[in-house]
Amino acid sequence: DIQMTQSPSSLSASIGDRLTITCRASQGINTYLAWFQQRPGKAPRSLIYGASYLQSGVPSRFSGSGSGTDFTLTISNLQPEDFATYYCQHYDSYPFTFGGGTKVEIK
Amino acid sequence: EVQLLESGGGLVQPGGSLRLSCAASGFTFSSYAIIWVRQAPGKGLEWVSTMGVSFRNTYYADSVKGRFTISRDNSKNTVYLQMDSLRVDDTATYYCAKGRVSGWDGGDRWGQGTLVTVSS
């Protein structure tokens, strides 16, 4: 099975900051990677697919990059509604495992 | 508007069964994959099962294989997750989500979730 490791597990940031979250796969997954946002008490929301393609309706301050084993989610100009937990998930081969999550908190 | 609505959660004793439903609307249901993802209290997301567009295309996490069965009824725009031999560690909120295409590639819509509690 492919393991997904996210870092950091949590971070503190301020409104307007630029932050980067990393996701590493235990083996190459091409660009079969998605990112999700989950606000407290809410369902997950799909943000990015194919490592770098934004879902419809997702603000352009979100961006994704990477291929193979190393991926990043970048949020520019952090907004109040961006404070949430972010997860990566690969869909290269079953099982489609998630990373452990990165909680973004207000500094 | 695309909507997914889960139902069927509740309190069940260990060893018991539940059937979750994911009712869909606002899109051509038969053309898209549906997945189930769960989240134990205070924990992260765990992929549980995928239902592809073909009835033969079903996949399960090892943790539920042999106990859970996913199925779809295109006439009712609904995907089901039959959960048997439930264990305490199956306690979680279960979400269904719609694929962007006939397979899963991160999806584009999620339901609000249904809580399953397995306890004596």
pLDDT one-digit tens code per residue, A76-98: 999 999 999 999 999 999 999 99
Predicted pLDDT at B102: 82
**Contact of A11 with A20, CB cutoff 8 Å:** no
Enumerate the residues of chain B whose CB falls inside 8 A of the CB of residue A99.
Answer: 44
Q: Which of A43, A51, A55, A53 is nearest to A88 (CA)?
A: A51
Q: Which of B6, B5, B23, B12 is nearest to B84 (CA)?
A: B12
Predicted pLDDT at A81: 95
- Separation CA B70–CA B94 (nearest Å): 13
Predicted pLDDT at B101: 84
Angle A7-B115-B69 (CA atoms, 0-180°, nearest 5)? 90
CA distance A53 to chain B (A): 11
CA distance B93 to chain A (A): 9
Which residue numbers of A have CB closer than 8 Å to B's CBs? 32, 34-36, 38, 43-46, 48-50, 55-56, 87, 89, 91, 94-101
- Angstrom CA distances, B56 to A58, B51, B83, B101, stand at 33, 8, 19, 17
Q: How far is CA A107 from the centre of its chain?
A: 20
B50-105 pLDDT tens trace: 999 988 999 999 999 999 999 999 999 999 999 999 999 999 999 999 998 888 99
Radius of gyration of chain A (CA): 13
B19-43 pLDDT tens trace: 999 999 999 999 999 999 999 999 9
Predicted pLDDT at A53: 97
- At residue B10 the predicted structure's pLDDT band, cuts being 50, 70 and 90, is very high
Q: Which of A31, A12, A43 is nearest to A72 (CA)?
A: A31
Enumerate the residues of chain B whose CB falls inside 8 A of the CB of residue A91.
Answer: 103-106
**Contact of A98 with A6, CB cutoff 8 Å:** no
